[in-house]
Amino acid sequence: MKMPAVAEREQLPVQQAREGKPEAWDILFRRYQLPLYVYVFELVHHEQTSLDLVQETFIAAVRHIGGLRDDAKFGSWLFGIAHQKCLQCWRKQNREDVPLGEIPETPDELESGPDDLLIRQEQEAEFMQLLNRLPLPQRSVLLLHFVEDFSIEEIARITETQPGTVKSRMHYAKRALRKLLEEEK
């Protein structure tokens, strides 16, 4: 399967979905099902739970589409629902506390795109391992950046944090990843 390097911003039938057209929902869900699953799975690490959470996200989207003001923000809105579902799942299972604001400083440097980090085939396994070792808030931010190339503001909206906090998390997560990849070289 040919995979685009970064997520593309396309014209999506959000208005038709709001009007209740099932074909529109099919197009929207087809577009976001895999990115959502990737995001959720990399946070919860359980296949069935991830599938359930994606389904719950879709159902919630159908129910609450009336609350979406800006059609262009459908993607971030959908990921916001999924993020909330993940938080509820964590709280229910009480497996892990979600530490917030663990990084005090905001770096001044501008973040680069999701493609600046290129990984060799032999590094893929290590990349995944390191990604899973990252603290949840950093992992969440990095996944949103990799999977959908969301902007800092969009990630802040999805995770309900300040853009400065998102910047910090992204910076430290990327630095940790680069460090590992350089060590592997």
Binding site for another protein (CB under 8 A): 1, 3, 5-7, 20-22, 25-26, 29-30, 33-35, 37-38, 41-42, 47, 50-51, 54-55, 58-59, 62, 114-115, 117-121, 124, 127-128, 131, 143, 146-147, 149
Structure tokens at 50: 């991830």
CA-CA distances (angstroms) from residue 82 to 36, 59, 136? 7, 11, 15
Report the nearest approach of another protein to the CB of residue 184 (Å). 13
- Residue with smaller CB distance to another protein, 80 or 114: 114
- Residue with smaller CB distance to another protein, 91 or 179: 179
Separation between Cα atoms, residue 174 and residue 165, nearest integer Å: 14
- DSSP letters of 142-183? HHHHHHH---HHHHHHHHTS-HHHHHHHHHHHHHHHHHHHHH
Report the nearest approach of another protein to the CB of residue 135 (Å). 17
Report the nearest approach of another protein to the CB of residue 69 (Å). 20
Report the nearest approach of another protein to the CB of residue 104 (Å). 26
- Residue with smaller CB distance to another protein, 7 or 68: 7
CA-CA distances (angstroms) from residue 27 to 13, 21, 34, 121, 169? 8, 10, 13, 32, 33
DSSP 120: -
- Residue with smaller CB distance to another protein, 167 or 174: 174
What is the chain's alpha carbon radius of gyration, rounded to the nearest angstrom?
Answer: 17
- Residue with smaller CB distance to another protein, 23 or 160: 23
